[in-house]
């Protein structure tokens, strides 16, 4: 790496929910010199890129925000039950303006490499355009679902029409009018996109590899009565979010599915279906723990699908779901199953007729060729590890992150990686992250990292690194937590890395719940950051000579 480097205390990569709050904490609470580098042209992270038709957050808006500032909470009013990208971006812009964050964010700057300099105890960071930065602390705030997964289907380059990935949606939008559109993928994204694309496309063909459960979202404008409730109960709402496993503003029912009669169980599901949203998963305590309990919810949803979808063959393909309910990330939708009753929508079951190739004219399955003008890839992400591995990250002794994670991500608490001193990963693999309402997990991580850096500075420590043994043991706990649930039974899940060919099959997020995780993190901190190897400053006079505070 060459050229003069900008010197900083801390460098943050990414200006989404994580990066903005991390900047605020390190700059304004600890007084560090900090810069955020962001590849996009503006703030927003995931929400900057995910502007596909129907895009909407599955967390309820009154919980999908920061809770660290009472003033901010009181100033902001959400308009709908689930926020869409424009409203989330307006919110994040308000946050950036309120806390004067933009002056320390550089946009259109993509980090390509970050190498740890052992002698200087600094991170050397290089961008695509060759700029260099040196920082004592490097914080990755790159998001868990930001590396788009475009499957390598033979022939894509020969397609004569346009194709798009939902996670890299053109800022100017896409006009589907009069077009024959093919959509590959029926995860949370595909389930949101299909009903909206179908409204304007001449024809929509949905290519489904794995059928998915979905529950109505029941999105609607928020009524004044509810908004008043939110305004008056911030503390209570926050307390629920902090004490539940997934960080959502509702509690999981204490009853087990078989503790009530069949009629009552049915009534509980019916009410949850009417209410809509991810709360369906909270209908009974043991839905993601016990297969028989899960079957009752799964059967209920399958019956709903068969009742909604008129064509029996299509209904059968949509309801032929091969994994427990919520073992994959459970989607919520607006008229997804109803969309298949439209004359201009066709479902192709890829289990019966796999895709062979993409041709100039469309998609050819084993059974026939589907003529298309556009292809929408709703095919998800190289989740959690993908965004980190896209950067050439090297730790001590030139160890690359790719080498360190060859057998799957190894972290301590999802916060640090052995061999990579002073590198902190916000919502990294091994933390609850994607299993939660993200802003809650983000606030917890950012505050923990800030506390750790504050501790280091107070104690004259200049290097903090996850201990190898602590990381090993944490990895075993992450595995055990997953195995205590039904989640690993969905063997094709992106939680396991199964959606990306060649990716190690390791259950990546910590499934023990955010509340328990927070207690573990706090406990470790209170015991002097047990398991982290801390080194006192002084052994490296060169670092001090560089003028780091
Ligand atoms: P997901 O949940 O990973 O869904 C991707 C979908 O694309 C899923 O139906 C996949 O089928 C399908 N897919 C992926 N590759 C292929 C190929 N090669 N051929 C056919 N179908 C394919 O991504 P989303 O964007 O929907 O959601 C990601 C998260 O964002 C979501 O969970 C929320 O947290 C927000 P598969 O199931 O792998 O058979």
Distance from C-alpha of 238 to C-alpha of 419, rounded to nearest angstrom? 36
Burial of 477 (C-beta count, 10 Å sphere; 0-12/13-18/19+) = middle
Please indicate whether residue 495, judged by its CB atom, sits closer than 6 Å to ligand 1. Answer: no
- Region of 366 on the Ramachandran plot (φ > 0 left; ψ -120 to 50 alpha; else beta): alpha
Of 379, 432, 495, best ligand 1 pocket probe by most atoms within 8 Å of the beta carbon: 379
Please indicate whether residue 209, judged by its CB atom, sits closer than 6 Å to ligand 1. Answer: yes
Ligand 1 centroid vs 192 CA: distance in angstroms? 12
Ligand 1 centroid vs 384 CA: distance in angstroms? 14
Distance from C-alpha of 174 to C-alpha of 238, rounded to nearest angstrom? 38
Ligand 1 centroid vs 236 CA: distance in angstroms? 35
Query: Ligand 1: which atom is nearest the Cα of residue 166?
Result: 25
Closest C-alpha residue for ligand 1 atom 33: 188
Please indicate whether residue 493, judged by its CB atom, sits closer than 6 Å to ligand 1. Answer: no
Burial of 296 (C-beta count, 10 Å sphere; 0-12/13-18/19+) = buried
Tens of each residue's pLDDT in the chain, 549 residues: 456 888 999 999 999 999 999 999 999 999 999 999 999 999 999 999 999 999 999 999 999 999 999 999 999 999 999 999 999 999 999 999 999 999 999 999 999 999 999 999 999 999 999 999 999 999 999 999 999 999 999 999 999 999 999 999 999 999 999 999 999 999 999 999 999 999 999 999 999 999 999 999 999 999 999 999 999 999 999 999 999 999 999 999 999 999 999 999 999 999 999 999 999 999 999 999 999 999 999 999 999 999 999 999 999 999 999 999 999 999 999 999 999 999 999 999 999 999 999 999 999 999 999 999 999 999 999 999 999 999 999 999 999 999 999 999 999 999 999 999 999 999 999 999 999 999 999 999 999 999 999 999 999 999 999 999 999 999 999 999 999 999 999 999 999 999 999 999 999 999 999 999 999 999 999 999 999 999 987 654 333 333 222
**Is residue 393 helix, strand or coil?**
strand
Tokens in use for 154? Answer: 């033979």
Distance from C-alpha of 223 to C-alpha of 498, rounded to nearest angstrom? 41
Closest C-alpha residue for ligand 1 atom 15: 379
- Is residue 232 within a helix (H) or strand (E), and if so which, with residue range? helix 224-232
The angle, 0 to 180 degrees and rounded to 10, between the axes of the packed helices 514-526 and 234-243 is: 90
Ligand 1 centroid vs 24 CA: distance in angstroms? 34
Q: What is the pTM of this model?
A: 0.96
Tokens in use for 200? Answer: 């304007």
Q: Which of 49, 85, 36, 50 is nearest to 64 (CA)?
A: 85
Instruction: Enumerate residues 6+ apart whose C-beta is below 8 A from 535.
Output: 461, 462, 463, 464
Query: Ligand 1: which atom is nearest the Cα of residue 190?
Result: 26
Query: Ligand 1: which atom is nearest the Cα of residue 188?
Result: 26
Distance from C-alpha of 269 to C-alpha of 377, rounded to nearest angstrom? 32
Tell me the CA distances in angstroms from 206 to 28, 326, 340, 362, 530, one per residue in order.
48, 22, 9, 13, 50
């Amino acid at each position: 790496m060459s050229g003069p480097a900008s010197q900083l205390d801390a460098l943050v990569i990414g200006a989404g929910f994580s990066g903005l709050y991390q900047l605020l904490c390190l700059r304004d609470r600890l007084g560090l010199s900090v810069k955020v580098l962001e590849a996009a042209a503006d703030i927003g992270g995931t929400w900057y890129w995910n502007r596909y038709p129907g895009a909407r957050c599955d967390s309820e808006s009154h919980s999908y925000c920061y809770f660290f500032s009472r003033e901010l909470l009181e100033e902001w009013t959400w308009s709908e039950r689930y926020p869409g990208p424009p409203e989330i971006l307006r919110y994040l812009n308000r946050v950036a303006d309120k806390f004067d964050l933009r002056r320390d964010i550089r946009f259109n700057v993509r980090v390509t490499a970050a190498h740890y300099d052992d002698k200087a105890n600094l991170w050397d960071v290089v961008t695509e355009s060759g700029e260099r930065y040196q920082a004592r602390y490097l914080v990755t705030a790159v998001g868990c679902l930001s590396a788009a997964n475009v499957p390598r289907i033979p022939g894509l380059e020969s397609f004569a029409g346009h194709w798009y990935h939902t996670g890299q949606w053109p800022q100017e939008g896409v006009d589907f009018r009069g077009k024959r559109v093919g959509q590959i993928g029926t995860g949370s994204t595909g389930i949101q996109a299909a009903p909206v694309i179908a409204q304007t496309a001449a024809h929509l063909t949905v290519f489904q590899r794995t059928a998915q459960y979905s529950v109505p979202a029941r999105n609607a404008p928020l009524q004044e009565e509810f908004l008043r409730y939110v305004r008056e109960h911030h503390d209570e709402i926050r307390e629920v979010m902090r004490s539940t496993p997934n960080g959502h503003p509702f509690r999981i029912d204490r009853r087990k599915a078989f503790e009530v009669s069949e009629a009552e169980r049915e009534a509980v599901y019916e009410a949850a279906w009417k209410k809509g949203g991810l709360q369906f998963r909270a209908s009974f305590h043991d839905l993601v723990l016990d297969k028989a309990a899960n079957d009752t919810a799964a059967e209920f949803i399958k019956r709903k699908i068969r009742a909604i979808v008129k064509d029996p063959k299509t209904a059968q393909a949509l309801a032929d779901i091969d994994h427990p309910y919520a073992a994959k990330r459970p989607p919520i939708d607006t008229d997804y199953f109803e969309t298949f009753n439209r004359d201009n929508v066709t479902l192709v079951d890829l289990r019966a007729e796999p895709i062979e190739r993409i041709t100039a004219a469309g998609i050819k399955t084993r059974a026939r060729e589907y003529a298309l003008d556009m292809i929408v890839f709703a095919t998800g992400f190289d989740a959690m590890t993908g965004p980190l591995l896209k950067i050439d990250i090297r730790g001590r002794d030139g160890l690359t992150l790719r080498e360190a994670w060859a057998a799957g991500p190894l972290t301590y608490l999802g916060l640090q990686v052995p061999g990579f001193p002073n590198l902190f990963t916000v919502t990294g693999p091994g933390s609850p992250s994607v299993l939660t309402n993200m802003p809650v997990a983000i606030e917890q991580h950012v505050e923990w990292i800030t506390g750790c850096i504050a501790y280091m500075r107070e104690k004259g420590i200049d290097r903090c690194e996850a201990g190898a043994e602590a990381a090993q043991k944490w990895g075993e706990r992450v595995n055990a937590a997953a195995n205590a649930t039904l989640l690993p039974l969905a063997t094709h899940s992106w939680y396991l890395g199964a959606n990306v060919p060649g990716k190690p099959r390791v259950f990546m997020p910590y499934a023990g719940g955010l509340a328990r995780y927070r207690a573990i993190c706090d406990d470790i901190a209170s015991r002097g950051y047990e398991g982290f190897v801390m080194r006192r400053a002084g052994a490296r006079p060169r670092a001090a000579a560089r003028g780091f505070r």
